[in-house]
Structure 1
């Protein structure tokens, strides 16, 4: 029996933009990784499953309650942690009864959850959260701790189905390991959307959403990816073979038509010269026409079959929809000083063509450091004594939360803001390299998926004029599909300016092979080797 079923589900945004069309499929009582390219509709599918959205047509069938962790967890910082856990009512009722109250409504609120406080504290401890977390407000936890607390609440509520959308975004290494441990022992059905390969490899099965179809693979992400690469290689070879066969059938048809035309010409000459009796010539002419018709039918049928085989082979080969990221050349000399960063005791100079990575636990102040460096608003009181200085005028900044875009404006207008002098046709051509083309560039930004929205932010950053001399990237792989991450790695490695990047995705950082890695921990900066683990740490909210 399936936990979640989609029956010919379609969904359109209010402006008429289709997000999903006739999607059908089921998710069973297992841990499932839901994968697909940015814009394929994964987040929309989860929101439909959670009941946040209503299908335009079709039906979503659920066996029971659904717990949903959205891609962006926005919370009131004054909200008590028990509310985040979803246990505020039974916990308050248990405490009231223990203090002597006997209202029957309290006993109804408790139900079977008399041990809720003990279970909650044990679950929070297992997630690595502070001992007093149950008695605190959300604002006293780091971003990673908030995510872990929210996931812990889902485990406590024991919903038949839990949906997690990019749960490792912004989590430091320690928080990710905690989350992995929770997933390994998960009870109930679990559907996870993520670009974190380690997390996806903990799944029992992989479901791909591609071209409005859900396809189930009975294994984790890496096994599915290996299968897909093999299948696509075979499909590409089949396409080449089918194209070759079609060319052969075309040649044979042309040769057959040439031969028939020659026969017809000779027959006409014989007829005109009256070399044979008229009745015999007419009989042979009819026989020749029947033979020619039969031959034409055979060669055309073979050519048609070859063309159908080619079309079928072409459908197996997937269109390359990965983003093509060619960063502009800002003309920065290798020895040009770009920036200086320091903690009051030591300082480091960032030079042109260098890639510098900044790591550290959640809440340590990495985003604050970046924002102060570029002169953006940042919290006061954090990182006292730190020295930040930028030595170039043109900076490209990609924030961790892409919240400086205009949701009511079109994609084109958002990007044109950074390149007002670029002709519209040229700007459209450049946007097409980010797979933002056709009618999409006229869509309202607020109607796009998280991955598509990120591509708009990335395009606005990289298409800016004049081009940035330094790129400052804060968690740039959030919400990106793995193909786009590949493109981003290649683009950054080929960039002719300086790059400062904050990321908790250490696989991504190792692929960048930065010239310098600085770890911000407990108010100090230290150089670090990415291949050597550093001690864990838990901090406050960043």
Structure 2
């Protein structure tokens, strides 16, 4: 068979409401391991479904050589589905069992297609993904989100497809599970297209393709290389914009001087005509010629201004829409000796036995990453610290104002605008001051007066931070539970910038190693087989 290839030729996709999601896409996807990146809402998932033949393009051509296996971002097994069904091997196992029971139906042999070891291969793959306890005939509806994703990934890695197309495969996976997925994908011998916001996974790709409002653009390297290219492009665009503005300033000066020279010539002509006592008819003609010259000059200068304005607009359009973010929350700062959290013999509910008990004392602007496998009690610990869940015993005290940013951002009322909620939280600050602070966070005048539920994930996260840090009194302890979930890469970088400017204390749960490494953590609270252990963050030299 020819080399597998997915080809887009001038492809467009129009949503049912008539909105053009993307248009004019032309690109080829071959056996290179490719990461697809782009902002939320730009159409990455739709493009993945189009490449997997799940959706047809609205126009243009899609050509495919080879087979594809598509893994959607959200895994929702039906009530009757088994683990084997979710892995895509249910029909094959059914055929195998009928043959083992003595069946001779040729359709079963065609379905099996020589895969006599499929049961052992599935069980081995489940064990590699830390699911050895699952039986292929167990109901998939009883699985957690992370377990369902891993079963679906096991099926993808067992498939005979020429291309794997995976949409956010690390969702719901902890750090260890993400590492094992990366190892499994490293052994995949065929074509691979991964849509992800996981920078660690994207850095294992050999090519990065960006989907933007300008279309598809291929970069010949992993995510780090792509980021270097984007930084260079942005720096060049900034320099070009500055040059255009400088040239406009020079041109404006030249145009002003030309107007002044014309005015001087007109004034001199009128003065000489009056001194020479010329006839009125000659003076009138002179005035007419002067006005014509002035009119032509105005037209020429207006055309020049429009050309310069167009050049500046084009230069500005090459820059990312993301603006610089300023998080002004000086009242959230914590003195080095200020007590923050006291946990003494705390007993956590719902946690495994080894993780139930915890004693911890934090003072000053400590920044703690809480890490460990799924189910060890990380989210439960944050809920107890926030006062949303009662401990089974022991002491849990917070000594400073606290705010929680959970995965659903429940601190935001989705039916009300951000500005109205912030005015309720700090009525004495005044609307003008709060508008300025929201603008400095990158929330524009239009966004802050719309219901917060209509905002993007990144905008909602900024709004939730604003409610916490610009309230009266402001939070000086932030508890963050997987804050990067469902954020695109631009929003993640914004969050990292904001948290880098925060001068209070921080406890954050996340499975994103790249994110944790960029927010200046001082400590790590790690779940171990022997219980919780507080230690310096690995990149930090112990004091």
Please give the range of the TM-score, normalised by the shorter of the 2 chains.
Answer: 0.7 to 0.9
How many angstroms apart in 2 are the aligned matches of 1:207 and 1:513? 30
CA displacement 1:324-375 (0-9 Å, x = unmatched): 5445734755422423165677622123422222212233222233333434
User: Which of these residues, 402, 412, 419, is aligned with residue 408 of structure 2?
Assistant: 402
Query: 2:485 aligned with 1:478, yes or no?
Result: yes
Q: Are 2:40 and 2:487, in contact at CA under 8 Å, matched by a contact in 1?
A: yes
SS class of match (1:207): strand
Structure 1 unmatched runs, 5+: 533-542
Query: 2:349 aligned with 1:347, yes or no?
Result: no
Give the aligned partner of residue 368 of structure 1: 380
In structure 2, relative to structure 1, the CA distance for the partners of 1:52 and 1:243 (3 Å cut) is same
- Number of aligned residues: 522
Give the aligned partner of residue 97 of structure 1: 99
How many angstroms apart in 2 are the aligned matches of 1:527 and 1:178? 25
Give the aligned partner of residue 181 of structure 2: 179
How many angstroms apart in 2 are the aligned matches of 1:444 and 1:187? 47
Q: Are 2:129 and 2:154, in contact at CA under 8 Å, matched by a contact in 1?
A: yes
Q: Are 1:325 and 1:488, in contact at CA under 8 Å, matched by a contact in 2?
A: no
In structure 2, relative to structure 1, the CA distance for the partners of 1:40 and 1:517 (3 Å cut) is same
Relative to the length of structure 2, the TM-score reads: 0.78
CA displacement 1:373-431 (0-9 Å, x = unmatched): 434359x9xxxx985613348432222x4274899x43627983994675888776655
In structure 2, relative to structure 1, the CA distance for the partners of 1:112 and 1:387 (3 Å cut) is farther
In structure 2, relative to structure 1, the CA distance for the partners of 1:393 and 1:140 (3 Å cut) is farther
How many angstroms apart in 2 are the aligned matches of 1:108 and 1:456? 56
Q: Shift of residue 206 of structure 1?
A: 1.8
Q: Are 2:149 and 2:172, in contact at CA under 8 Å, matched by a contact in 1?
A: no
- Aligned-residue Cα RMSD (Å) equals 4.5
How many angstroms apart in 2 are the aligned matches of 1:151 and 1:395? 38
How many angstroms apart in 1 are the aligned matches of 2:393 and 2:518? 29
SS class of match (2:221): coil
SS class of match (1:531): coil
Alignment of 1:525-540 (within 5 A): 525-531=532-538
Q: Shift of residue 87 of structure 1?
A: 1.1
How many angstroms apart in 1 are the aligned matches of 2:457 and 2:104? 49
The answer to which structure, 1 or 2, has the higher relative contact order (CA under 8 A, 6+ apart) is 1
Give the aligned partner of residue 6 of structure 2: 2
More off after superposition, 275-284 vs 85-94? 275-284
Alignment of 1:453-472 (within 5 A): 454-455=461-462, 457-458=464-465, 461-462=468-469, 466-472=473-479
Give the aligned partner of residue 202 of structure 1: 204
Alignment of 1:190-339 (within 5 A): 190-211=192-213, 213-274=215-276, 303-321=305-323, 324-327=326-329, 329-330=331-332, 334-339=337-342
More off after superposition, 58-67 vs 109-118? 58-67
Give the aligned partner of residue 509 of structure 1: 516
SS class of match (2:475): coil
Q: Shift of residue 53 of structure 1?
A: 7.7
CA displacement 1:480-505 (0-9 Å, x = unmatched): 34444344344434434332212223
Relative to the length of structure 1, the TM-score reads: 0.78
Q: Are 1:510 and 1:530, in contact at CA under 8 Å, matched by a contact in 2?
A: no
Q: Are 1:36 and 1:208, in contact at CA under 8 Å, matched by a contact in 2?
A: yes
How many angstroms apart in 1 are the aligned matches of 2:420 and 2:283? 76
In structure 2, relative to structure 1, the CA distance for the partners of 1:201 and 1:52 (3 Å cut) is same
Query: 2:158 aligned with 1:168, yes or no?
Result: no
More off after superposition, 41-50 vs 353-362? 41-50
Q: Are 2:419 and 2:449, in contact at CA under 8 Å, matched by a contact in 1?
A: no
How many angstroms apart in 1 are the aligned matches of 2:105 and 2:450? 55
User: Which of these residues, 414, 421, 428, is aligned with residue 416 of structure 1?
Assistant: 421
More off after superposition, 414-423 vs 182-191? 414-423
How many angstroms apart in 2 are the aligned matches of 1:61 and 1:455? 39
Q: Shift of residue 524 of structure 1?
A: 0.7
In structure 2, relative to structure 1, the CA distance for the partners of 1:266 and 1:433 (3 Å cut) is closer
CA displacement 1:186-215 (0-9 Å, x = unmatched): 344433232322211222322223335332
Give the aligned partner of residue 358 of structure 1: 370
In structure 2, relative to structure 1, the CA distance for the partners of 1:335 and 1:280 (3 Å cut) is closer
Give the aligned partner of residue 39 of structure 2: 37
